[in-house]
């Protein structure tokens, strides 16, 4: 049974979450003093958690110099078989978004149903994919697009608007949808193009996350290549933060890099993690063989078909260019996404530099992946859902509770839903009860 921690006690998810939606006859009297959260939740702690009605009394702080919301679509290996399952069970609009994605994949692009083939997302269905999240690239990419589109639809349906959007790696697919550059059908088409063509180079290399600066990473790469007698084969594939990078390359050189870190007096205590969920050397020259088929797959798509679901006024930062987006999201742009390293840390730091410390990063992914990196870049962070923690004594894996917590922390950070109070309460009640 899923339980959550509120004011130091345990509460079943079937019971009301008074921090957000007290029963109508008691709402004014409920004023919890503190919300205790898990260390890995990625939520901004709250001193006071007033009921939603009280929050609506304040003027919208998103105007003028108030806080600004940046939604980050992160393409990291955080997928797992249970992702989105509880939201699909309890919140029908989320499941409807997932099913619409799948309908488009089948009817528009002629591909087999991801849902029927894998059992992902569907309440009561058994998922055929392994629990480790080490799936085929096809399943990883499509499932990421499905869950990120559905989560963005959910946030938008709750009345929250973004000032900025960013995406990293395959997260840039849904970034374009959220920013209104193209519609849902095009987003699914781009994901299908990524999935189909990247599968042709599946297994060409590996990726390792290393908690070092870019300068240190280049020194490590140079030393490993020197000892291996090689001139290339390892590259920084992602600049996550001033203190974290991803390095991708051929399997033998990634193994040599691990051995180098283990035997080095300087780096033996450095945190390093192989990312088995990423089945190729993404964002490196090892992707060059698929340029032709990749661009050909995108040529059949209308990449400029504007989305009714996006926010036209939102500004976009490119993790590929490391700056504000100033070019179309066309086949050349997405090929750069495949071939070039991502610069997530650079653009988060630029956002903080340009907008000050009033930027909040809302990560949309299957599990918080960039919390530490965001904080290292000087920004504040809110996450949405997270992977179940099997080792925890308390099962805090209920995605609906996590979503309600995220909404509360958006309020704590100064954001307000644009929905009328009654409509907003109804949406929250739907999340809580599934009715």
Lowest mean pLDDT of 39-48, 138-147, 172-181, name the range: 39-48
Find the mean pLDDT for residues 380-396: 70
Domain that holds residue 213: 206-278
The answer to whether 250 and 231 are in contact (CB under 8 A) is: no
Whether residue 396 is found in the same domain as residue 422: yes
> Which CATH number do you get for residue 297?
3.40.366.10
Shared-domain flag, residues 296 and 340: yes
Give me the residue label for tokens 């035997």: 263
Q: Is residue 5 part of a domain?
A: yes
Per-residue confidence (pLDDT) for residue 435, from 0 to 100: 43
Across 304-308, average pLDDT: 58
Token pair recorded at residue 398: 């209920």
* Domain match, 79 and 44 both: no
**For residue 63, is it within any domain?**
no
Higher confidence at residue 188 or residue 38? 188
Structure tokens at 109: 């692009």
Residues 185 and 297 placed together within one structural domain of the fold: yes
Number of domains within the chain: 3
Shared domain check, 162 and 299: yes
Q: Verify that 300 and 267 share a domain, yes or no.
A: no
Residues 324 and 217 both lie in one domain: no
Q: Are residues 49 and 72 in the same domain?
A: no
Closest CA to 159 of 432, 423, 363: 423
For residue 8, name the pLDDT band (cuts at 50, 70, 90). Answer: very low
Q: Is residue 283 part of a domain?
A: no
Are 178 and 135 in a shared domain? yes
Q: Three-class SS of residue 292? A: helix
- Confidence band (pLDDT; 50, 70, 90) for 166? very high
Q: Quick one: 123 and 213 in the same domain?
A: no
Asked whether residue 305 is assigned to any structural domain, the reply reads: yes
Q: How many CB atoms lie within 10 A of CB 357?
A: 10
Q: Who's near 328: CB < 8 A, 6+ residues apart?
A: 303, 304
21, two tokens: 């939606």
Domain identity same for 259 and 376:
no
Kindly state whether residue 181 falls inside one of the protein's structural domains.
Answer: yes
Q: Kindly state whether residue 340 falls inside one of the protein's structural domains.
A: yes
Both 196 and 292 in one domain: the answer is yes
């Amino acid at each position: 049974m899923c339980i959550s921690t509120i004011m130091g006690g345990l509460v079943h998810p079937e019971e009301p979450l008074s921090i957000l939606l007290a029963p109508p006859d008691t709402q004014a009297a409920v004023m919890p003093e503190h919300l205790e959260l898990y260390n890995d939740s990625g939520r901004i702690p709250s001193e006071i958690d007033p009921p939603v009605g009280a929050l609506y009394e304040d003027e919208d702080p998103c105007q003028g110099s108030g806080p600004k919301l940046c939604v980050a679509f992160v393409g990291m290996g955080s997928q797992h078989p249970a992702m989105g399952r509880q939201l699909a069970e309890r919140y029908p609009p989320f499941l409807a978004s997932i099913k619409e994605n799948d309908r488009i994949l089948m009817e528009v692009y002629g591909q087999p149903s991801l849902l029927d083939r894998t059992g992902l997302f569907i309440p009561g269905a058994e998922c055929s994919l392994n629990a480790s999240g080490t799936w085929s690239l096809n399943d990883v990419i499509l499932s990421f697009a499905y869950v990120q589109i559905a989560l963005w639809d959910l946030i938008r349906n709750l009345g929250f608007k973004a000032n900025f959007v960013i995406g990293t790696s395959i997260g840039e697919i849904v970034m374009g949808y959220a920013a209104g550059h193209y519609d849902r059908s095009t987003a699914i088409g781009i994901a299908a193009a990524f999935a189909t063509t990247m599968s042709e180079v599946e297994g060409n290399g590996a990726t390792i996350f290393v908690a070092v600066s870019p300068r240190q990473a280049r020194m490590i790469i140079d030393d490993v290549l020197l000892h291996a007698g090689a001139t290339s084969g390892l590259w920084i594939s992602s600049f996550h933060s001033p203190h974290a990078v991803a390095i991708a390359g051929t399997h033998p050189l990634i193994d040599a890099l691990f051995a180098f870190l283990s035997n080095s007096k300087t780096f033996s205590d450095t945190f390093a993690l192989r990312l088995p969920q990423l089945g190729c050397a993404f964002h490196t020259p090892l992707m060059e063989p698929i340029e032709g088929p990749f661009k050909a797959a995108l040529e059949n798509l209308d990449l400029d078909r504007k989305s009714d679901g996006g926010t036209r006024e939102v500004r976009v930062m490119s993790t590929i260019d490391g700056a504000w987006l100033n070019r179309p999201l066309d086949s050349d742009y997405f090929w750069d996404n495949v071939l070039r390293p991502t610069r997530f840390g650079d653009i988060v730091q630029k956002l903080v530099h340009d907008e000050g410390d009033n930027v909040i990063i809302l990560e949309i992914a299957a599990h918080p992946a960039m919390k530490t990196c965001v904080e290292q870049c000087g920004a504040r962070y809110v996450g949405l859902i997270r992977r179940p923690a099997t080792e925890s004594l308390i099962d805090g894996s209920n995605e609906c509770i996590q979503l309600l917590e995220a909404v509360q922390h958006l309020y704590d950070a100064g954001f307000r839903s644009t929905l009328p109070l009654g409509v907003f309460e109804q949406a929250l009640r739907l999340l809580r009860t599934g009715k």
